[in-house]
């Protein structure tokens, strides 16, 4: 029996090392269990393989029965939780696009007393339609603060599911949501925070065949993705449609945020990053690591820029990039300029 348990631990460890989802690792261990049980049912008594794997099938049947009970219990709890969440959503007020529900303004009182926002600014937030690309490290705080701020319509697109390795920094997700699509996990958290928001989750990858139609439905785009292919795609279509793009990025201890809006005279993303760097020069968070609270800082900055862009308060980071170094507690801003030979915006002239 020790041999089988050792094999199970080895399979789990190898799967974790190669980044296999938890469900896939459980399937591998389940196949090992079925194989061992089949050996005990097929091979005669005293066979070396039977002796090496516990000698009797009765023990493995008891173990299997125990795990079936545990699984059934978890399924029962998940069903109860789903019913409770469904009841909460059914009892929640139905959002009316652009209109405040009774009692809704009370939650925005701290906004309304701000001279730069006031009632008109809060109304613009209510009427705004914001798309967030990515429900990971940057998308998590941005989505929470956009919902809390009273943005009327929030779309989020992501094709990934919640994994245990996400929870160190992706604060919108919960341990109970492991294996759930991130967009639906984010929807639950945002709805719990602000039931008045109109939330639109898209569980799929943002591809060239859908990006134009999707962005056309929104006024403002936040890009929190971790790959250059999607960044360039979102930038190109946002520039073509004249939509402001708020972009954030992370690397270990450092983050950056900027507003790319060539229609308003600023550069686009490709003006600054003409081409994607070599993979070894821009490793992913999984490869290089990232400080857990850092996405919270940068994602919150993205939400701040979104609120300013929507309401007209202050000055957004158009033509500027704010860089935050968490390791040394430093911030700095650099000026960004349109590039005349940019293939996307031609220095703003093609927008």
For the residues of 148-163, what is the DSSP string, one character each? HHT-SEEEEE---B--
CA 273/CA 232 separation, integer angstroms: 9
Does the domain made of 99-348 have the CATH classification 3.40.50.720? Answer: yes
Q: Say if residue 298's pLDDT is above 60.
A: yes
Q: What is the pLDDT of residue 300?
A: 97
Tell whether the model's pLDDT for residue 290 goes beyond 80: yes
d(CA 148, CA 128): 14
Cα 150 to Cα 128: distance, rounded to the nearest angstrom: 9
Q: Each residue of 106-121: pLDDT tens digit?
A: 999 999 999 999 999 9
pTM exceeding the 0.75 threshold for the entire prediction: no
Percent of the chain with pLDDT over 90: 62
**Residue 4 to residue 286: CA distance in whole angstroms:** 31
Nearest to 248, CA basis, from 175, 173, 304: 304
Please determine, for residue 35, whether its predicted confidence score (pLDDT) is greater than 90. Answer: no
pLDDT at 94: 59
> Would you state the pLDDT for residue 89?
64
Q: According to the model, what pLDDT value does residue 28 have? A: 75
CATH 3.40.50.720 domain extents, the chain = 99-348
276-280 contacts: CB < 8 A, separation 24 or more?
A: 276/228, 276/229, 276/232, 277/228
- The DSSP secondary-structure symbol of 281 reads G
Residue 165 has pLDDT above 60, yes or no: yes
What would the pLDDT profile of 200-244 be if each residue is shown by its tens digit? Answer: 999 999 999 999 999 999 999 999 998 899 999 999 999 999 999
């Amino acid at each position: 029996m020790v041999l089988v348990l050792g094999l199970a631990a080895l399979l789990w460890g190898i799967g974790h090392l190669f980044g296999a989802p938890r469900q896939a690792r459980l399937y591998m261990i389940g196949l090992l269990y079925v194989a061992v049980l089949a050996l005990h049912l097929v091979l005669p008594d005293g066979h070396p393989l039977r002796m090496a794997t516990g000698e009797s099938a009765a023990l493995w049947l008891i173990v299997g029965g125990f795990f079936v009970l545990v699984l059934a219990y978890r399924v029962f709890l998940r069903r109860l939780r789903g019913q409770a969440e469904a009841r909460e959503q059914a009892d929640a007020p139905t959002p009316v696009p652009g209109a405040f529900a009774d009692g809704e303004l009370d939650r925005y009182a701290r906004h309304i007393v701000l001279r730069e926002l006031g009632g008109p600014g809060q109304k613009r937030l209510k009427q705004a339609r914001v798309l967030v690309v990515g429900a990971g490290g940057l998308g998590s705080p941005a989505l929470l603060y956009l919902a809390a701020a009273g943005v009327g319509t929030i779309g989020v697109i992501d094709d990934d599911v919640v994994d245990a390795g996400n929870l160190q920094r992706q604060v919108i997700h919960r341990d109970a949501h492991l294996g759930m699509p991130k967009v639906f996990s984010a929807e639950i958290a945002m709805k719990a925070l602000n039931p008045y928001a109109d939330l639109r989750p898209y569980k799929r990858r943002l591809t060239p065949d859908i990006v134009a139609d999707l962005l056309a439905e929104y006024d403002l785009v936040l890009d929190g993705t971790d790959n250059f292919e999607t960044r360039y795609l979102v930038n190109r279509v946002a520039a073509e449609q004249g939509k402001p793009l708020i972009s954030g990025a992370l690397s270990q201890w450092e983050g950056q945020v900027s507003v790319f809006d060539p229609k308003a005279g600023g550069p686009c993303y490709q003006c600054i990053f003409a081409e994607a760097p070599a993979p070894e020069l821009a490793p992913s968070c999984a490869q290089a690591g990232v400080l857990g609270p850092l996405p919270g800082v940068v994602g919150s900055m993205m939400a701040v820029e979104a609120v300013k862009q929507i309401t007209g308060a202050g000055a957004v980071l158009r033509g500027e990039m704010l860089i935050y170094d968490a390791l040394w507690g430093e911030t700095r801003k650099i000026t960004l300029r349109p590039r005349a030979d940019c293939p996307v915006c031609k220095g703003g002239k093609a927008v």
